């Protein structure tokens, strides 16, 4: 309970409620505030204030504790937000928990607690994980928040006003685990390999489905088919990776049906009731998806300031298992009410264990709290981004974590930092000062060739990393930075400044020491700046060792010769391996 109280206190300080706590039906006087919005997000909203960059995680279902897949989504989203902040743009990140629906109702009943108490306990775990992983979120939203309930009710009102909601008896295969109906074409028999039980299951998720007949409200999603396909055609890169976009288009062309958007209260009581019909509960996915609008202050959008809260979202980061909800249902709902669509969707792959899907029943789920406690937050973030999959699933492996640390962070970045900042043979600060008075090369030596080549590398580094980030590929961006680290270590091996400085009789060699140390120092400075979104603590440590001022750590500073005032350490580089930038891991077994 202490965790829950602490979580609630943190949330109270993080964001103010934008709406009153009443959950009544939207009054007629509010209808005049519904903005007239553009059809697609490809055409920006007209507003009097600049739109912040807005990135989201999906809100996580609280029927079970968080696992490493949830953490991966959080970290990817956080890296995207921090990158925009690094570039000097105001950015917003929302994460949170999805707390309504049949799964929660059943899980709470099995635990013999009230649904809200069950949600409070599990939601606090997700918020604690976000904070432990240093996720720079602006709001931790919960679907049990009062302002979210009003946003959902108002969204329902807009659908009703458009004539896109109708009442009908629904028959079909419903999956409680996935919280959705599946068409007959996506259901097949499946046998449990352990018990031998034969049951009907979704061919997409493999989860059990049950036949359901009930009277519910439906959303005329099939009427949006042509608009959806038109949007996909006009925005072929809307979903990353491209293979997922193909799945979305295929589903709309071949499997689109009107969507059941409510459940009878006698079967599902835990959720937001349908306005003016308390016998029905709003479908959990309609409820959950609207959270992205709630964060952006919907429906309180004064004319001319519709985008002030961030909408349309710049990127939704999701796991591939919820692709259809975000890339079919969500755009259809937004098109229906005239709200612009999000600009991009990044759908990432999953983490496996020994090449098998993680499952609590099998016992192969990675606890993210244990991982952070064991390896430290920076290493876990580094590993997840570096090795995580966007197109293909990635296999979680502790041995690989150790290997990545030793090779890339310890022998790579840590060793480079030590080679430049520890020797008494030269001074980083003197090299920086001397850089403004470099002589023009008088001969084409191997060292001078290396200097020219390495300067060219540094001049293109920030642009190359930025390109990967614009293409929503943080893994490639991180690998680009670490490749620069590797090439800088090779550059030092070629130039061997420790040998040059020991030739007092050789003026030519002595004159090459400062340019060599300067370019290596510039490499560390640029790398430190570019690593900030990925490994915040280690990057800050590195920049402190290099003596880079706090106001010189933006993306615009990640250019050679853009800072002439660094070189005096703010933090000592340490005397040995144990107090260095990348000390030995405490646990490697």
Q: What is the predicted pLDDT for the residue at 335?
A: 98
Q: What is the predicted pLDDT for the residue at 178?
A: 65
Task: Please state the three-class secondary structure of 418-477 as a single string.
Answer: HHHHCCCCCCHHHHHHHHHHCCCCCCCCHHHHHHHHHHHHHHHHHHHHHHHHHCCCHHHH
Instruction: Report the distance separating Cα 352 and Cα 358, nearest Å.
Output: 6
- Closest listed residue to residue 398, CA positions, set 409, 387, 414: 387
Read off the pTM: 0.86
Strand 345-348 relative to strand 315-319, pairing:
parallel
Domains of the chain with CATH codes: 2-378 (3.40.50.620), 397-579 (1.10.730.10)
H or E segment at 497?
helix 497-500
Work out the percent of the chain whose per-residue pLDDT is above 90. 70
For 363-415, what is each residue's pLDDT tens digit? 788 999 999 999 999 999 999 999 999 999 999 999 999 999 999 999 999 99
Q: What is the predicted pLDDT for the residue at 219?
A: 97
Instruction: Report the distance separating Cα 335 and Cα 224, nearest Å.
Output: 8
- Closest listed residue to residue 396, CA positions, set 346, 356, 348: 356
H or E segment at 377?
helix 377-387
Q: What is the predicted pLDDT for the residue at 117?
A: 96
Note if the bond before 312 is cis, omega within 30 degrees.
yes
- Closest listed residue to residue 315, CA positions, set 325, 304, 324, 327: 327
Q: What is the predicted pLDDT for the residue at 438?
A: 55
Q: What is the predicted pLDDT for the residue at 132?
A: 98
Residues, the chain, total? 589
Q: What is the predicted pLDDT for the residue at 269?
A: 94
CB 352 within 8 A of CB 395: yes
Instruction: Report the distance separating Cα 175 and Cα 178, nearest Å.
Output: 5
Q: What is the predicted pLDDT for the residue at 30?
A: 41
Write out the chain's pLDDT in tens, 589 residues.
444 444 544 444 343 333 333 333 343 334 334 433 333 333 333 443 589 999 999 999 998 899 999 999 999 999 999 999 999 999 999 999 999 998 899 999 999 999 999 999 999 999 999 999 999 999 999 999 999 999 999 999 999 999 999 998 766 777 766 666 777 777 787 877 767 777 777 777 677 777 777 889 999 999 999 999 999 999 999 999 999 999 999 999 999 999 999 999 998 999 999 998 999 999 999 999 999 999 999 999 988 888 999 999 999 999 999 999 999 999 999 999 999 999 999 999 999 998 887 776 667 889 999 999 999 999 999 999 999 999 999 999 999 999 999 999 999 999 999 999 998 889 999 999 988 655 444 445 788 889 999 999 999 999 999 999 999 999 999 999 999 999 999 999 999 999 888 876 667 777 888 999 999 999 999 999 999 999 999 999 999 999 999 999 999 999 999 999 999 999 999 887 777 899 998 755 4
DSSP letters of 131-142? HHTT---SEEEE
CB 423 within 8 A of CB 521: no
């Amino acid at each position: 309970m202490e965790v829950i109280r602490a979580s609630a206190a943190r949330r109270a300080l993080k964001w103010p409620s934008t709406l009153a706590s009443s959950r009544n039906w939207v009054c007629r006087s509010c209808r005049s505030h519904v903005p007239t919005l553009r059809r697609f997000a490809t055409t920006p909203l007209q507003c009097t204030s600049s739109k912040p960059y807005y990135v989201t995680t999906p809100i996580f279902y609280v029927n079970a504790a968080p696992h490493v897949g949830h953490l991966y989504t959080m970290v990817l989203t956080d890296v995207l937000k921090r990158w925009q902040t690094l570039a000097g743009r105001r950015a917003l990140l929302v994460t949170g928990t999805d707390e309504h629906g049949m799964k929660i109702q059943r899980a709470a009943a099995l635990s013999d607690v009230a649904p809200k108490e069950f949600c409070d306990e599990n939601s606090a775990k997700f918020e604690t994980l976000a904070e432990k992983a240093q996720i720079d979120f602006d709001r931790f939203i919960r679907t049990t928040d009062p302002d979210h309930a009003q946003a959902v009710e108002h969204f329902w009102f807009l659908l009703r006003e458009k004539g896109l909601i109708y009442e009908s008896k629904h028959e079909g295969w419903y999956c409680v685990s996935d919280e959705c109906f599946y068409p007959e074409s996506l259901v097949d028999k499946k046998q449990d390999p352990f018990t031998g039980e034969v049951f009907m299951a979704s061919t997409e998720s493999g989860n059990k489905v049950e036949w359901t007949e009930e009277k519910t409200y439906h959303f005329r999603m099939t009427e949006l088919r042509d608009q959806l396909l038109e949007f996909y055609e006009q925005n072929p890169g809307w979903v990353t990776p491209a293979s997922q976009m193909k799945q979305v288009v295929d589903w709309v062309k071949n499997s689109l049906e009107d969507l059941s958007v409510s459940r009878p209260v006698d079967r599902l009581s835990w959720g937001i009731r349908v306005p003016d019909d308390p016998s029905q509960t709003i479908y959990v996915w309609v409820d959950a998806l609207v959270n992205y609008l709630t964060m952006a202050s919907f429906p309180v959008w004064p004319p001319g300031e519709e985008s002030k809260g961030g909408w349309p979202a710049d990127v939704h980061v999701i796991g591939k298992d919820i692709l259809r909800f975000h890339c079919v249902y969500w755009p259809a709902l937004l098109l229906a009410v005239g709200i612009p669509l999000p600009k991009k969707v990044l759908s990432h792959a999953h983490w496996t264990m020994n090449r098998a899907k993680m499952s609590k029943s099998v016992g192969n789920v990675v606890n993210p709290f244990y991982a952070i406690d064991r390896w430290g937050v920076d290493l876990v973030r580094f590993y997840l981004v570096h090795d995580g999959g966007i197109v293909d699933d990635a296999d979680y492996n502790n041995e690989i974590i150790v290997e990545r640390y030793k090779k890339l962070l310890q022998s790579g970045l840590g060793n480079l930092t030590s080679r430049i900042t520890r020797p008494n043979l030269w001074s980083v600060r003197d090299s920086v000062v001397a850089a403004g008075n470099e002589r023009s090369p008088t001969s084409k030596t191997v060292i001078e060739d290396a200097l020219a080549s390495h300067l060219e590398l540094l001049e293109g580094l920030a642009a190359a990393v930025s390109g990967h980030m614009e293409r929503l590929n943080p893994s490639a961006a991180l690998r680009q930075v670490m490749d620069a680290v590797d090439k800088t270590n090779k550059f030092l091996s070629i130039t061997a400044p420790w040998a040059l400085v020991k030739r007092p009789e050789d003026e030519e060699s002595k004159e090459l020491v400062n340019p060599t140390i300067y370019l290596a120092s510039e490499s560390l400075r640029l790398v430190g700046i570019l690593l900030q979104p990925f490994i915040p603590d280690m990057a800050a440590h590195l920049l402190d060792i290099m003596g880079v001022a706090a106001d010189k750590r933006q993306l615009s500073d990640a250019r050679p010769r853009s800072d002439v005032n660094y070189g005096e350490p703010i933090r000592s580089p340490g005397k040995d391996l144990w107090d260095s930038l990348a000390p030995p891991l405490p646990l490697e077994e």
